[in-house]
């Protein structure tokens, strides 16, 4: 095989994608001929269910860009999305067999390339899947890449990731990704809306994150985000809220090195006190 498969967190299951297809940068062509009629049908049903929920819950930027994914009745071809996406913001999507390691991931983002898993979940996983598949990656992440401010933010995140890797701080930066790009909320004039891909691609969490009285909703505070651990297998207990993508861009612009240091010290103290 060209590259090793990747697993994040503890898991009994081997990663699902076929990493022998990947090149050294972990990308691979979208294997379009491999999709079955059942796969296209899964896409169509996921899309229909989710599109019916976005009004009043997803942010306007997302809703306006969603048609740019193309017709909803079959899995989109990446190169067709790219014709529109590249014109809009200079971003491109590239196929990957599944999760990829930090450095190749950040490198792609820093070059305005967003990795999209090309396989789709099985019908028995219709409601819940742990690993990202093509539905999560395309439906959840790609519409916002049509927005110039968000698109620039994603590139800065990629560059910041390479820097965090050098500082041994990827774990803290990953929490920022989690609470913004995956699970972020935005306050529009007409109310609270979701912009995080993990929310936008989940029918249960889209309603919960925006409407439930249960979770905490805090204004975005970078250091607090970096101190907040997350769970990958339940709805979030805490969401962070921005007023605009410009706010997200500006709050993430300062040098994170001192923040990483403070968070690291705090975690070390906590660990020492627990021992
Ligand atoms: N400003 C961050 C740093 O100095 C980099 C970054 C930018 C990270 C945007 C995330 C998003 O490390
Ligand atoms: Fe994601």
Take atom 5 of ligand 1 and give the residue whose Cα is closest.
Answer: 160
DSSP-assigned letter for residue 15 = P
- The SS3 call for residue 224 is helix
Q: How far is the CA of 199 from the centre of ligand 2 (A)?
A: 9
Name which of 3-7, 210-214, 249-253 the model is least confident about: 3-7
Residue 106 has pLDDT above 60, yes or no: yes
pLDDT value at position 233?
Answer: 85
8, part of any domain: no
Residues in the chain: 275
Take atom 11 of ligand 1 and give the residue whose Cα is closest.
Answer: 157
Task: Note down the domain range covering 195.
Answer: 19-274
Read off the tokens for 147. 């927005």
66, part of any domain: yes
Q: How far is the CA of 197 from the centre of ligand 2 (A)?
A: 6
Q: What is the pTM (predicted TM-score) of this model?
A: 0.94
What is the number of the ligand 1 atom nearest to the C-alpha of 163?
12
Kindly report the average pLDDT of the chain as a whole number. Answer: 95
12, part of any domain: no
Question: What is the Cα–Cα distance from 144 to 133, expressed in whole angstroms?
Answer: 18
CATH code of the domain covering residue 248: 1.10.800.10
Using pLDDT thresholds of 50, 70 and 90, give the confidence band for residue 157: very high
Using pLDDT thresholds of 50, 70 and 90, give the confidence band for residue 13: low
11, part of any domain: no
Please, what is the Cα angle at 213 between 207 and 215, to 5 degrees? 80
pLDDT value at position 128?
Answer: 86
Ligand 1 pocket mutation, candidates 105, 162, 256, criterion most atoms within 8 A of CB: 256
pLDDT value at position 11?
Answer: 53
pLDDT value at position 1?
Answer: 44
Which distant-in-sequence residues (6+ apart) come within 8 Å of 186 by Cβ? 59, 192, 193, 194, 195, 241, 242, 243, 244, 245
14, part of any domain: no
Residue 144 has pLDDT above 50, yes or no: yes
Q: What is the mean pLDDT of residues 196-222?
A: 97
How many domains does the chain divide into? 1
168, part of any domain: yes
List C-alpha distances in Å: 251 to 50, 185, 255, 259. Answer: 30, 15, 10, 12
Pocket of ligand 1 (CB under 6 A): 156-157, 160, 163, 252-256
Which pairs count as long-range contacts for 72-76, CB under 8 Å and 24+ apart, including other chains?
72/43, 72/44, 72/47, 72/48, 73/40, 73/44, 74/40, 74/43, 74/44, 75/32, 75/35, 75/39, 75/40, 75/43, 75/120, 75/134, 76/138
5, part of any domain: no
Residue 122 has pLDDT above 70, yes or no: yes
Q: What is the mean pLDDT of residues 59-75?
A: 97
Tens digits of residue pLDDT in 74-97: 999 999 999 999 999 999 999 999
What is the number of the ligand 1 atom nearest to the C-alpha of 249?
9
Find out whether 123 and 38 touch, Cβ atoms under 8 Å.
Answer: yes
Ligand nearest to the CA of 182: 2
pLDDT value at position 247?
Answer: 98
7, part of any domain: no
């Amino acid at each position: 095989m060209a590259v090793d498969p990747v697993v994040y967190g503890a898991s009994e299951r081997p990663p699902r994608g076929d990493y022998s297809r990947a090149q050294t940068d972990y990308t691979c062509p979208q294997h379009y001929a491999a999709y079955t009629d059942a796969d296209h049908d899964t896409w169509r049903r996921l899309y229909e269910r989710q599109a019916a929920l976005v009004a009043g819950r997803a942010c306007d930027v997302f809703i306006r860009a969603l048609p740019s994914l193309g017709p909803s009745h079959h899995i989109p071809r990446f190169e067709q999305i790219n014709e529109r996406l590249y014109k809009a913001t200079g971003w491109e999507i590239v196929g990957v067999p599944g999760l990829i390691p930090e450095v190749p991931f950040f490198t792609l983002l820093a070059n305005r390339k967003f990795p999209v898993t090309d396989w789709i979940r099985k019908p028995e996983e219709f409601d819940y899947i742990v690993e990202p598949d093509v539905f999560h990656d395309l439906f959840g992440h790609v519409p916002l890449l049509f927005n110039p401010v968000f698109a620039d933010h994603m590139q800065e995140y990629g560059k910041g990731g390479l820097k965090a890797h050098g500082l041994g701080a990827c774990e803290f930066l990953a929490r920022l990704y989690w609470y913004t790009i995956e699970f972020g909320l935005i306050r529009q004039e007409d109310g609270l809306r979701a912009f995080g891909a993990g929310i936008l691609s989940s029918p249960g969490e889209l309603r919960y994150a925006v409407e439930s009285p249960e979770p905490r909703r805090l204004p975005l505070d970078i250091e607090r985000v970096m101190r907040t651990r997350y769970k990958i297998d339940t709805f979030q207990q805490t969401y962070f809220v921005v007023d605009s993508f410009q706010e997200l861009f500006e709050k993430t612009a300062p040098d994170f090195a001192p923040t990483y240091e403070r968070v690291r010290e705090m975690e070390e103290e906590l660990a020492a006190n627990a021992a």
